[in-house]
Amino acid sequence: MKRAFLYILTLLFVLSSCERPIEYEGEITEPKLVLQAEVSEGDTIVKAYVSRSRFFLNDSSYFTFTDYRMPSATVEIQRGGQAWQKMHTRTIMNKGRQVDQYFTISLDSALRAGETIRIRASHQNYDTITAEQTIVHKPWCQVWDFNGQANTLFRVKNLSYVELSLLLQNYPYEDAILGVSVSCALDIRYKSGSRMDHQRETVTYIRSYDQLIANSDNTTAGQTSIGSRYELFFHPGYSNAYFLNLEIPYSNMSYLPNVEILDVTIDSMTVSFNAHSDASYLYRRSMYKARNDYNDSDFDLGAEMSDIFGQEEDVQIYSNVANGYGIFAACSRYKIVKYNVKTVTQ
């Protein structure tokens, strides 16, 4: 035992004595202002987040969520050809702790599709940053079930995923990339051995989908869209309607011994039909890829682990902020929310 201890002590000494510092020879970036904001048709309040970037070797690279905010920055907004207006800082506190901080302004009238909005931010010792967006038209959609009855949301097949049918109505504008995202809150009641229990979960993945485009002559044709795990994207300017059948998977509780799912209650479902400006679309697509989470057809939980293990980003995050980083995007959303939709019993 004594010999083993001396061996370990010697090994630790040798390994520690082999350490030598390696100088970093790459580019050292100076901090820049970062802007994050989104506007939508119908908005009467605009919010913008302003923070700062940091070099990864600096001691200040690791800090809490509020440490990098820039509350003393000057942030202004311009609507069309009107004069610049100053946005005001707002801090949200919860139990004496700061949980959010942003710049905001109330508008005289709601934002309209086609008008241009500009934001600029400045701070001492930083370059002034600017960004511009044109408001896109709000989309519309309907939710159907498989027998054609409107506003009946789902049925569950094999108790492993929710099936949802969508009718995406005519969107004749060329100013946006269209997207569909779904959030489903479930209550799963199950039996494991002699124990009865239930589990709540919220699912946002879209595993697979079938898509048809309804033509004016009442015929249908196959149509492909660009997909991700969280949102499906469609090319703009279609003059007819898309009909989609979506599959949203959820846990089958197979990790529990002798599990038997008794029923699944769909507490609520939010379907968002999104019209993205080019900047909004490119930013989201780059984020999906950077998270190593982009896959058009497969549903593989293993890919979700990339965030945990810190795999290197394979793309540059899209930014449209001049002299800085971040995104100022237009995304007009139409949401359908349903509660206590259906209980499916095995």
Q: What is the DSSP letter of 159?
A: T
* Domain assignment present for 5: no
Residue 105 sits in a domain whose CATH number is: 2.60.40
CA torsion 291-296-302-305 (nearest 10°) is 10
DSSP type of residue 147:
T
For the cut 70, the answer to whether the pLDDT of residue 12 exceeds it is no
From CA 127, how far away is CA 254, in angstroms rounded? 54
pLDDT at 297: 37
Look at the chain and report how many structural domains it folds into. 2
pLDDT digits (tens, 9 = 90+) for 136-151: 999 877 776 555 555 5
Distance CA 75, CA 55 (A): 24
Question: Do both 110 and 243 map to the same domain?
Answer: no
- Which positions ≥6 away from 50 have C-beta within 8 Å? 33, 34, 35, 36, 69, 70, 73, 75, 103, 121, 123
Lowest mean pLDDT among 34-38, 148-152, 326-330, 337-341: 148-152
pLDDT in tens, 78-100: 999 899 999 999 988 888 887 78
The rounded distance, in Å, linking the Cα atoms of 134 and 132 is 7
Task: Tell whether 128 and 217 lie within a shared domain.
Answer: no
Domain coverage including residue 116 = 33-134
The pLDDT value given to residue 10: 58
**Is 127 within 8 Å of 323 (Cβ atoms)?**
yes
Same domain for 169 and 69: no
If DSSP codes are grouped into helix, strand and coil, which group holds residue 122? strand
Residue 14 located in a structural domain:
no
Judge whether 269 and 198 are in contact, CB under 8 Å: no
Q: What is the mean pLDDT of the chain?
A: 77
User: To which residue do tokens 């900047």 refer?
Assistant: 279
Kindly state the tokens that stand for 293. 């989470």
Q: Is there a single domain that holds both residue 165 and residue 181?
A: yes
Q: Are residues 170 and 272 in the same domain?
A: yes
**Token pair 């469609």 in the structure block, residue:** 234
Q: How far apart are CA 136 and CA 39, in angstroms?
A: 9
Q: How many residues does the chain have?
A: 346
> Do both 188 and 248 map to the same domain?
yes
Residue pair 280/329 in contact (Cβ under 8 Å)? The answer is yes
Q: Are residues 145 and 68 in the same domain?
A: no
Burial class of residue 259 (count of CB atoms within 10 Å of its CB; 0-12, 13-18, 19+): middle
pLDDT of residue 294 exceeding 90, the answer is no
Could you tell me if residue 18 is inside a domain?
no
The 8-class DSSP code of residue 303 comes to G
- Average pLDDT value for residue range 123-142: 92
For residues 189 and 344, the answer to whether their CB atoms sit within 8 Å is no
